[in-house]
Amino acid sequence: MKLVLALAAAGYAIGLAARAAEPPGVPANRIAALSPGINMAAPFYRPDTEPAPLVARIAAAGFRHVRLPVAPGSLLDEEHPDRLKPEGVQRLDATLDLLLHAGLAVSVDPHDPDKRLWTDPAYQDKFVAFWGALAKHLSRRDPDKVFLEVVNEPTMGTPEAWQALQGRILTAMRRGAPRQTLIATPNMLVSPGHWDQLAALNKLKPYGDRNVVYTFHYYNPFWFTHQSATWTNTPVKDMRQVPYPSSPEAVAAVMDKQQGDETKNLLRAYGEERWGAARIREDLQPYAEWARRNKVPIYCGELGVYKAVSPQEDRLQWYRDVVAALRPDGIPWTIWDDGGGFGTFAPRAGGWTTDTALLKALGMPQK
């Protein structure tokens, strides 16, 4: 009996030692800090934007987290990729100071990188070195407040190629920032010309580093969320007053506002698919299942509806349904965006206006 107890105690001690030796996962407080969040894209797309009033507006609205798009070219010195451009660093640090002082967590997101990142091995080497330098610079920031995202929406030729390159980037990031939580992303292209977030996620194998969150973006159904958006393909660009929830009857009521047979046929199919709260819950479940299966945290880094011609109440209902569908699985979320075409805020002389109806739909505290 004594031998059995001794062996059991030894086994318990070995188990404790093994667990102590495991790399730490993502702390729960960091997962919580990612939501509710907003992409602060205005300074990225309009560099002349004064960030201080916008930061104040974001904090006052009740957001806890900002995903901060930054231009890699403003920081990456191609002649010396292991160093950072001083002007870009100064601008980034000043913005981070504003956000952190306002009590916001921040994800630094290299956005719209040079297309050579997807095809040119020499540039890929530079990007790896760049992230090593940037991670080291950001490592002095509070790791409970500052997150590092590999890159926005990668589009390499194959998911396998991205798996390998992202692994190299994550290694450089971790070497530079041992304590920070990193954010990894699937390759958005699963085959040439085929963009499918869920299929891309299913082709991504989680990395050995356990202090990593995996992100995805959610804009389904695309016909509704991107109607009339100028950067989309022609059928979506031509769509007007697309309803949500969808049904054959709802779509038929706006068919005379559409142009072209292709657009009308797509909308008929959209009506028959009957998108609504139940369909969105069903659509998001595989993301949560992927996270459970792989025992990793997942995060919705972008979601939203382009405002220009989408029906206002339908747009608000979509936000309610998506946020409600993410909640049971504890998936944090960050909306796109602040002052752009999806805008929660709108610039005006001397400040910003706030879409209070959207904040209410998101369940944000009303002040």
Distances (CA, A) of 82 to 78, 170, 172: 9, 15, 11
Q: Which residue ranges in the chain fall short of pLDDT 70?
A: 1-24, 191-193, 366-367
- The Cα–Cα gap between 123 and 120 comes to 5
In a domain, 289, yes or no: no
- The Cα–Cα gap between 361 and 367 comes to 14
221 preceded by a cis bond (ω within 30 of 0): yes
Number of domains in the chain: 1
Of 304, 311, 307, 317, give the one whose Cα is nearest residue 241: 311
What is the pLDDT, as a whole number, of residue 58? 96
- Neighbour-count burial of 267, counting CB atoms closer than 10 A to its CB (0-12 exposed, 13-18 middle, 19+ buried): buried
Q: Residues 359, 61: contact at Cβ < 8 Å?
A: yes
In a domain, 295, yes or no: no
- The Cα–Cα gap between 158 and 135 comes to 26
SS3 sequence of the chain: CHHHHHHHHHHHHHHHHHHHHCCCCCCHHHHHHCCCEEECCHHHHCCCCCHHHHHHHHHHHCCCEEEEEECHHHCECCCCCCCECHHHHHHHHHHHHHHHHCCCEEEEEECCCCHHHHCCHHHHHHHHHHHHHHHHHHCCCCCCCEEEECCCCCCCCCHHHHHHHHHHHHHHHHHHCCCCCEEECCCCEEECCEECHHHHHHCCCCCCCCCEEEEEEECCCHHHHCCCCCCCCHHHHCCCCCCCCCCHHHHHCCHHHCCCHHHHHHHHHHHHHCCCHHHHHHHHHHHHHHHHHHCCCEEEEEECCCCCCCCHHHHHHHHHHHHHHHHHHCCCEEECCCCCCCCCEEEECCEEEECHHHHHHCCCCCC
In a domain, 302, yes or no: no
In a domain, 70, yes or no: yes
Q: State both tokens at 257.
A: 């506002």
Q: Which residue has the tokens 């590092």?
A: 148
pTM of the shown model: 0.92
- The Cα–Cα gap between 71 and 154 comes to 15
> 191: domain range?
22-218+337-361
Torsion 331-355-244-153 (CA) sign: negative
pLDDT digits (tens, 9 = 90+) for 2-47: 433 343 444 433 333 333 333 469 999 999 999 999 999 999 999 9
What is the pLDDT, as a whole number, of residue 144? 98
In a domain, 303, yes or no: no
Q: Residues 69, 336: contact at Cβ < 8 Å?
A: no
How many other C-beta atoms can be found within 10 angstroms of the C-beta atom of residue 58?
A: 25
What is the pLDDT, as a whole number, of residue 325? 98
- The Cα–Cα gap between 327 and 174 comes to 30
What is the pLDDT, as a whole number, of residue 5? 39
What residues are paired with 107 via a beta bridge?
67, 147
- The Cα–Cα gap between 346 and 329 comes to 32
In a domain, 96, yes or no: yes
CATH number of domain containing 28 = 3.20.20.80
Of 322, 326, 316, 328, give the one whose Cα is nearest residue 361: 316
What is the pLDDT, as a whole number, of residue 195? 76
What is the pLDDT, as a whole number, of residue 297? 98
In a domain, 187, yes or no: yes
What is the pLDDT, as a whole number, of residue 349? 80
- Neighbour-count burial of 22, counting CB atoms closer than 10 A to its CB (0-12 exposed, 13-18 middle, 19+ buried): exposed
pLDDT digits (tens, 9 = 90+) for 130-151: 999 999 999 999 999 999 999 9
